Structure 1
Amino acid sequence: MRQLLDIVARHKRGEQAGVYSLCSAHPQVIESAMREARAYDAPLLVEATSNQVNQFGGYTGMTPADFRRFVLKIARQSGFREANLWLGGDHLGPNAWRHEPADEAMDKAAEMIRQYVVAGFRKIHLDCSMACGGDPEPVPEDVIARRAARLCAVAEKAWRDVGGEPPVYVIGTEVPVPGGATESLGELEVTSPEAARATIKAHQDAFAQLGLDAAWPRVIALVVQPGVEFDHHKVIDYRPNRARDLSAFIADDAQFIFEAHSTDYQAPVNLEALVRDHFAILKVGPGATYALRETLWSLAAIARELPGGADQEDLRAIALEVMRSDPRYWRNYYHDPKRESLDLQFSLSDRIRYYWPHPRIKQAYESLLTRLRGSSVPLTLLSQFMPRQYEAVRDGRLQANVDELLQEGIAASLRPYMRACGVAGSQR
């Protein structure tokens, strides 16, 4: 990951340099991100989480090696250079097995880390902040650090066994809830410089105790809470004045930058401010699949208005039917029956993203795109249901075909991240 280390070094020299991390397993989202990055010969960092991809398949059914093959296939199909594809592992630790005894959960986490590194993942977020069976809550920081160091030792051995570039690591315990908060949020408490300093010190000591001195310089980032988050229908925006002390603390550190999670839905000016203030790794996941869903709903509305469209299957209705018949991915998030339909479709936590691979939804998705590929999309319907794409079509920047419209809907949510991270020309 020499290129990523170079981005950190450039940032430390005062450049508006950063990288955004795409946390998604949806092929259309990944393809759209690759097409945008390819236009500027820019790298793309794609990350998988421990719940999503692990040695048992995770909720995607993919092992780390499977996920790598999956992403590389999309890269080949979209003409994206493999050298510009970076793979990372997010929240890698015992989270997927936190209800098991700590020793057993950590054994499984160690095997997962090994498989990630062997498969070619080289950005590794060591996250042992969650309590396992028998642990006190919260887990003491020295325990978290020792567990992270143990997993780092596994990663280092796996890398030495298979060769290639050495991994870089991200540490940190103040991690927002993956996928967004489950309850309505008020103002968030920003990580204090003292807490950040203690986390770094605890991990540095734990690494030294395991003889990981060679790995420590490759620990590039610390996950903290800069005061950004989202719940079902609200975004907590970044306020630079509240993170001033935290930003100043890391500015004086020669090694570390911050990694900011849950930056989905932040305004472009906020993303640029985050990178400026040394939160130079920006994670986005639900925000990209939300843009996918939003675009598909607009395309479905267009399809219904075309001749004979009302007689065709409705992607939106099928998705809701499947989600209600199998509530495992949303029942712990959405609690108000009166708002169920609203939340299932439009919540910013975007729990619908777990259902796109379902056979019925996938069939309806493909059927919708096939029907629209066989029709010309009238400008009048484009103006009604997709006004941003309509403007791009009228300006000659976009073709009015379904694949380009879908690509543009997703890409528009990613370009602000590219601009914030200093990718030249990523404004459209």
Structure 2
Amino acid sequence: MVRNFSLFTSPGMPPTANGDPHAAVTCVHAGPPIFYAPNNTRDGRGTWVMTRARDQRTVLQDTETFSSHRSIFASALGENWPMIPLELDPPAHGIFRSLLNPLFSPQRVRVLEPAVRERAIALIDGIVASGTSCDVMKDFAFPFAVNIFLRFLGLPDDRLAIFVGWGQDLLHGDAVKRKAAAQRIVAFIDDLATLRRKAPVDDFMTFLVQAQVEGRPLTDEEVRSIGVLLFVAGLDTVAAAIGFDLAYLARNPKDQQWLRSKPTRIVVAAEELLRAYPTVQMIRVATRDIDFDGVPIRKGDYISCATMIANRDPAEFECPNTIDLAREENCHTAFAHGPHRCLGSHLARREIVIGLEEWLARIPAFRIKGGTAPITHGGHVFGIDNLILDWS
């Protein structure tokens, strides 16, 4: 029941030119449905790996047995506090989730959509005006996705590159870089909260410092932990998803042309690309000893529910390693499952769809530029860099 597997160090996971970490993880489906991976975390701790999507759903739904309180961010500081609401268990989780849900509702996203589309168009038109190739992550994916999130938080984007750098160091740097980035992010969130208490405006941080739960104001620590979560969540995942999507279309000109000829199918295609190229591994901690389908999970054990493994489960998806942009009834778990399903999923979906719509409408048939190679990596959050697209 022990396998030498890690989303950080197994073949295809470290930074790799022209890599495909999502395809690399599919090897686990040839083995036992649940196994122990001794080094499947950034700090070298072991996890049980759930390979079946149905088992992952069971774990993610059972918050009494499998806790989400891991202090992922705080551990970089040598501290132990939860990001709210991601690392809270019920009933506390529900209290804060109810506070935040209206801010990310489909109705709220519809209000933001014109600004999202305007940003995409402005960036792409600038790219077209400057030539016939670009580094799509630096020139489009990060400036687009991160700007939208900063705008949502009420932050200017003149520090966008600095914020993205913090996110890269936090998620993909060594222990020293992670700690320094975490310290900078906490200091920034604390300073912003102090400013908004003194001079409130119509933005998210003002909402937080004025909000109440159960008839009381949020504490400084609660404001910080919510602010940190939303700040970090907006720095990487949507940009990475857009990058993987455009890399796929660059390598598959028939699918690219099909979407150009049928732009109304982009919404369905985006769901298939989310299934095929999700970016996040969820970790849970066992709160008690349990026999899980014959597996002796013990209190304190880590359990990995990696979206990239569940979304390639042959028991859930016909030909799971084939990307079929016309696939219907796509019940993927790119945004997780259960009470902790991604708070920002509605916004993320619209960003991805709008980004693809405007890119395909404005950029001619594109390919990966000759002589270049995208760099992919696995880890807690999968990513892609050096994606140079050419349409000369």
Question: TM (normalized to structure 2)?
Answer: 0.29
Higher RCO (Cα < 8 Å, 6 or more apart): 2
| TM-score, L = length of structure 1 | 0.27
Larger radius of gyration: 1
